Chain A
Amino acid sequence: MSKPRNQCAKGHGAPKAKEREGEWDFYWCDVSWLRENFDHTYMDEHVRISHFRNHYELTRKNYMVKNLKRFRKQLERDVGKLEAAKCDFFPKTFELPSDYHLFVEEFRKTPGITWIMKPVARSQGKGIFLFRKLKDIMDWRKDVGRSDDQKDDIPVENYVAQRYIENPYLIGGRKFDLRVYVLVMSYIPLRAWLYRDGFLRFSNTRFTLSSIDDHYVHLTNVAVQKTSPDYDPEKGCKWMIQRFRQYLTSKHGPEAVETLFRDMDNIFIKSLQSVQKVIISDKHCFELYGYDILIDQDLKPWLLEVNASPSLAASSQEDYHLKTCLLEDTLHIVDMETRLTGKEKRVGGFDLMWNDGPVSREEEGIDTPGPGNFVANTHLGCNNDRKKQLRQLFRSLHSQKKVTS
């Protein structure tokens, strides 16, 4: 399946990356290129690049934990315990080996629970395993020296141990996680958009705690599932979020579902706020994040991780469609052609979630709701009639331009 990225750039007609080194207006770059070149690349005013210099503050698990912990403390100090508790969407995590002693203390407090070990900077489920005994980590530390994939050598220091969520919400006996897309146009001030579409990734096998060695059960990344013995590529282990939202509504009722999605909004905002002051703000940068969320049986959402380069390869027709539209709408918001006024609250499938403050669904000026009636301008899992909206948007922009010119 051809990459949605190329398809999209062609369709959009935006100026593309040019052949000659250094002569581009818009670059959807790899993080490795960024690392090497960002600091000594001059960019004109209008130029846009798809990553922030130090995005790893959000996307690498150990940094994210640190930033979140710090932010939580600050909230507790400045606002209060209740507000700080809203940051408790991240399962207890410890960096290893730096926090090893703290980890062992926590480990001893709650014996018998399962922990998950994740490498800080790898993706697609590589290098992850579960354990219940400290002895398992000892063995692993010895093994690391003679690991198979020595090419990408991750030093032992760059791992995190995280409390494993043992009561995930199951559908059909299977575990799943959600992939949600958040577009950040700037950190100072914080402007973030939430995409209405997203998907659930199912584990191919039934969930049980008894087989923690079974990689396939616990990890839901499509990349890992693709190697599972009963993986059937035609089957597609994904559901669109709309379907999930309907399923939950028929099972738990609309209020419970509203609460769940509100809690997810909270995860996005707080996680971005926690790195707001740390990320190097640069008006050329924007970033499309892929958030991985896990829901437990009490309908509480947990943040698993944030990806700076969410996979844009498509595993099915539906997936291809979603990712192409996602990219198209991202390009609309990046707005290389400066068609937008900057006051839009919705562009295609993206809703403006945060604009240096919460964004309300209500129209401004018409009966601005009191603090009790605030409804956020997010529509995750709702109807995405983006084509219609884009048509209306550009038509009105076009007529506005005519008037002013």
Chain B
Amino acid sequence: MLQEEEDLSLTIAHIVQKLKGSRLYSQLERQAWVSLQKPEIKLESLKEDIKEFFKISGWEKKLQNAVYSELTVFPLPRHPAAPPEHLKEPLVYMRKAQGSWEKRILKSLNSMCTELSIPLARKRPVVEQKELLNKWNEMGTDEPDLSLFRPVYAPKDFLEVLINLRNPNYENGDHLNLKTHLGLIQVPLKVKYISELKEFFIELSLNTGQLGIDDATQVPPELFENEHVRLGQKVLAEQDSAAAQQYIRQGSPTALRAELWALILNVSNQPEDLLYYEQLKSNVIQHDLLVDSLIYKDVKLTASNDDYYFVFEDYLYQVLLCFSRDTSVLGHFAYNSASPPKSYIRGVIPFHGFSMYVAPLCFLYHEPSKLYQIFREMYVRFFFRLHSISSHPSGIVSLCLLFETLLQTHLPQLFYHLREIGAQPLRISFKWMVRAFSGYLATDQLLLLWDRILGYNSLEILAVLAAAVFAFRAVNLMEVTSLAAAEAVLADLSTLKVMPLLQIFLFATIT
């Protein structure tokens, strides 16, 4: 009992400290001073009256949302004496692996620099600055010579690293037994069983209405859709983050999605945010970073060639170039096993496909500073886990293990067959999970999937979906005899309907 109380007070102290430095704190302070003018506030019951005032005026709600946001994002310190590395990643071997991966990336980047004799960063001459400012809204028209640049790494390079991860304290034993994991990932992390997943994702069950299933044309809207939309409007009116997160587990109506995501991510359109974005923009104008060319290259190779996202090319530059200079992003490195490189590049090094994290958001947000903020929040809450080595349940290593375990346990024949023909399933599904399925699913389906990521505050659904896709195409996959043929069967996911697949796999398959 005492321990729990200690933990709680530690948590509270931690959050209070974090919020004290935030904008919200000064706003609340100001509001409290202003409220003194009001007749309802009496000196005798000052504390109570001000509290009441906050409740009525909606400021309490804002505070609640901020606290909720902190709880969701920031992991709690386990033990007051735990060193900061433990917050990043408790397992030593994982930390080491991440460290050496980072060294490799940086080495590769540096050698590209020396090869091409391009500085990591340089200040732009005034003429160039002016030009860029003029072209800010149409940077896609620029055609810099990027032929010599290569993406620093691609998902499959990262997969090789993960495959070679080993826990030095764990002995697998030489003989195969029922518990032997036949997949590529060979580290003993705890992943959820399907019974635990069913409980975790209880709102996706067959008896609960879902957008993505129960809003199909044959289903009369009175059955579910109308009420769900009404509820969504109510949640937005209340401006309650926690309620929104619960609500969105059943999917978000198209018209409400932009606002709901902003509420859940606690992103509001304050003038300070706009100013911050403008400052980042001016940083971009003044300095040219090597990373910028990598970003250009990535956008040109991926999003620009996508049938549906090519239209948003300009927005992608406006977001990603600013992102690479945003030092507040560094804050997330406290709980990310990764560390920022100790050179001028102060942020995230993009890899092949990175811009696809931003592209679907362009469907919802059209104002660059809002789009930027939403993307930044999504990144520091979720996406960073998809390309750093950690033991977190939503980290990519756990997702891979979860995927392989689900497949091996529930589709053993398929798993074994694919393994025999040299088509380890993870080799195909890895790229889907790393990109959170962006660019592989149809946009409306992708947004329904990302609704659930936000709703459950977890990326595990990506692994479940990947397994569900394999289950769906199992019959065809049993017939293939090579990795290439397996890739072909799973090449086109654009016609898949995400929610029925998830529902069937979780709740309608005999386990």
A interface residues, Cβ below 8 angstroms from B: 171-174, 202, 205-206, 230, 232, 234-239, 243, 246-247, 249-251, 253-254, 316, 318, 382-383, 385
Contact = CB atoms under 8 A, between A and B. Distances in A.
A299 to B, nearest CB: 15
B443 A243 contact: yes
Contacts of B140: 206
A249 B254 CA distance: 6
Contact of A250 (B216, B308, B312, B363): B363
A250 B138 contact: no
Contacts of A247: 363
A173 B308 contact: no
A238 B310 CA distance: 10
Contact of B307 (A171, A250, A316): A316
- Please list the 3 inter-chain residue pairs (A to B) with the smallest Cβ-Cβ separation, ordered nearest first: A172-B311, A206-B138, A249-B254
B141 interface: yes
A31 B458 CA distance: 60
Contact of B305 (A172, A235, A249, A383): A235
12 contacts: A174-B311, A206-B137, A236-B307, A236-B310, A239-B307, A239-B311, A247-B363, A249-B255, A250-B255, A250-B363, A251-B366, A253-B255
Given A235-B307, A235-B310, 4 more contacts: A172-B312, A230-B141, A246-B444, A250-B363
Given A173-B314, A206-B141, A250-B254, A318 B307 contact: yes
A250 B143 CA distance: 32
A243 B308 contact: yes
A216 to B, nearest CB: 11
B138 A173 contact: yes
Given A206-B137, A383-B217, A172 B308 contact: no
Nearest to B229: A254
Nearest to A252: B255
A229 to B, nearest CB: 10
B314 A239 contact: no
A202 B315 CA distance: 16
B89 interface: no
B311 A250 contact: no
A206 B139 CA distance: 10
B258 interface: yes
B207 to A, nearest CB: 25
Contact of A173 (B137, B143, B254): B137
B364 interface: yes
A235 B304 contact: yes
Contacts of B254: 246, 249-250, 254
B104 to A, nearest CB: 32
A202 B138 contact: no
A385 B143 CA distance: 42
B311 A202 contact: yes
Contacts of B255: 249-250, 253-254
A172 B315 contact: yes
Contact of B141 (A171, A205, A239, A383): A205
B313 interface: yes
Contacts of A243: 308, 443-444
A206 B308 contact: no
Contacts of B312: 172
Contacts of A249: 254-255
A198 to B, nearest CB: 16
A172 B257 contact: no
Contacts of A246: 254, 363, 443-444
A232 to B, nearest CB: 7
A202 B307 CA distance: 11
Best-surrounded residue of B141, B257, B311, B363 (most CB of chain A within 10 A)? B311
Interface in B202-247: 216-217
A253 B257 CA distance: 11
Nearest to B366: A251
Interface string B305-343: 101101111110000000000000000000000000000
B137 A171 contact: no
Contacts of A172: 311-315, 362
B257 A250 contact: yes
A250 B141 contact: no
A318 B306 CA distance: 13
Given A206-B137, A232-B305, A171 B364 contact: no
B307 A385 contact: no
Interface in B454-497: none
Given A206-B138, A250-B255, A234 B305 contact: yes
B310 A206 contact: no
B314 A250 contact: no
Contacts of B143: 230
Contacts of A383: 216-217
B247 to A, nearest CB: 17
A237 B140 CA distance: 15
A206 B366 CA distance: 16
A254 B256 CA distance: 10
Contacts of B366: 251
Nearest to A255: B255
Nearest to B217: A383
A233 to B, nearest CB: 11
Contacts of B364: 250
Nearest to B309: A172
Contact of A206 (B216, B314, B363, B443): B314
Contacts of A236: 307, 310
Contacts of B216: 383
Nearest to A247: B363
Contacts of B307: 235-236, 238-239, 316, 318
Interface in B30-78: none
Contact of A171 (B217, B304, B311, B444): B311
